[in-house]
Amino acid sequence: MRHMCAMTSRADRIATALNDRFAPVLLRVADDSASHAGHAGAAEGGQTHYSVLMVAAAFAGQTRVARSRAVHEALAAEFGTGLHALALTLRTPDEQARV
């Protein structure tokens, strides 16, 4: 059996971890690494900077800070292996409906 890291991109692993933890109704994960080349935390080959749009009922009643902390906690393994930055947009389905 091959190690999961060898089989999937970081974006795929991020999506899997977030789907497993939050069961979102909408999830978009974009690799923004190319636009950060030469900046702090950027690595050769990218996969360091991502933006995430996630809409999940799990965020109901949580502050923006609590939502962000929960996502960072869910992705701790990725931060430990080279993920440098996340731009997060985290909403409940009601909040998304008003956008």
Q: What angle do CA 46, 74, 60 make, to 5 degrees?
A: 120
The pLDDT of residue 47: 76
Tens-digit pLDDT profile for residues 18-40: 999 999 999 999 998 866 455 55
Pick the residue with more confidence: 44 or 59? 59
Whether 6 has a pLDDT exceeding 70, the answer reads no
**Are 49 and 42 a contacting pair, CB within 8 Å?**
yes
Residue 89, beta-bridge partner list: 53
Q: What is the CATH number of the domain that holds 47?
A: 3.30.300.90
Distance CA 42, CA 28 (A): 21
**11 is in which domain, residue-wise?**
4-97
Whether 46 has a pLDDT exceeding 90, the answer reads no
Q: For all residues of the chain together, what is the average pLDDT?
A: 86
Number of compact structural domains in the chain = 1
